[in-house]
Each structure stands twice: as C-alpha cells, then as structure tokens.
C-alpha cells in the first residue's frame, strides 16, 4: 500500500533508519554508542509497527461499544465508577486495548 505522500512511506523511512542503526552503526561501534543505537532502533521498530498496524479500527470499535471516543474518557469513567456492573464489557474492551498495544510494542508476546 502506498501512503498519501507516495513512496517511500513514513513506515519505510522509519524502517530504513532502524536498519541503518541495527546494521551499520551497531557493527561500527561498541559500548554506550552501540547500546544507544540499539535502543533507538528498537524505538523506531515500535513506530514502524504502529504505522503499519491494522488494529486501530478494533480499538476504536471496542471503545465505541462502551460509548467512548478515546482511552482517556474510558479511564475517567472507570475512575468515576460509571461502569460499575459492566465488568464483562469493560474487561473485553481492555483486553482489546492491551492486545493492540502489545502487538505494537512487543510482537509475539501473546504467543509466548
């Protein structure tokens, strides 16, 4: 799929920089610079997965099923006790949110 601005897409650019850090920079460095290159590459891989993630619609649907536009509104409602008695619905929504986050930040976690 080509992005709105053509190629390379944002995800492709992020992937290219991550690859540069993972290969060229890490192979040519040691110590603190090598560690920081690894951390930066991991952060870019998370951004890449977020950009490519198809699960956003699942998250929006899970929130909408409870009547919320975003996670902040859901959290405020939970804190206020407005969802008491709807535990099964809230838990289903939270599972969807957590599963989506883990797929981006730690792929494969749910299969470990």
Q: Are 26 and 34 in contact (CB under 8 A)?
A: yes
Residues 63 and 22 in one domain: no
Residues 22 and 1 in one domain: yes
For residue 56, the model assigns a pLDDT of 80
Residues 41 and 79 in one domain: no
Residues 4 and 38 in one domain: yes
Residues 35 and 75 in one domain: no
Dmax over Cα atoms in the chain, in whole Å?
Answer: 58
Q: How confident is the model at residue 5 (pLDDT cuts 50, 70, 90)?
A: confident
3-state secondary structure of 3: strand
Q: Measure the CA–CA gap between 107 and 96, rounded to whole angstroms.
A: 15
**Domain housing 87:** 54-107
Q: Of 37, 52, 67, which marks where a domain is finished?
A: 52
Q: What is the pTM of this model?
A: 0.73
């Amino acid at each position: 799929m080509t992005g709105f601005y053509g190629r390379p897409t944002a995800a492709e650019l992020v992937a290219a920089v991550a690859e540069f850090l993972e290969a060229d920079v890490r192979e040519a460095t040691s110590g603190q610079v090598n560690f920081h290159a690894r951390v930066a590459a991991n952060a870019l891989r998370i951004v890449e997965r977020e950009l490519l993630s198809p699960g956003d619609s699942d998250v929006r649907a899970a929130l909408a099923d409870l009547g919320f536009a975003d996670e902040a509104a859901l959290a405020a409602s939970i804190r206020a006790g407005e969802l008491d008695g709807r535990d099964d619905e809230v838990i289903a929504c939270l599972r969807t949110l957590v599963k989506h986050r883990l797929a981006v930040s730690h792929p494969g976690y749910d299969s470990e």
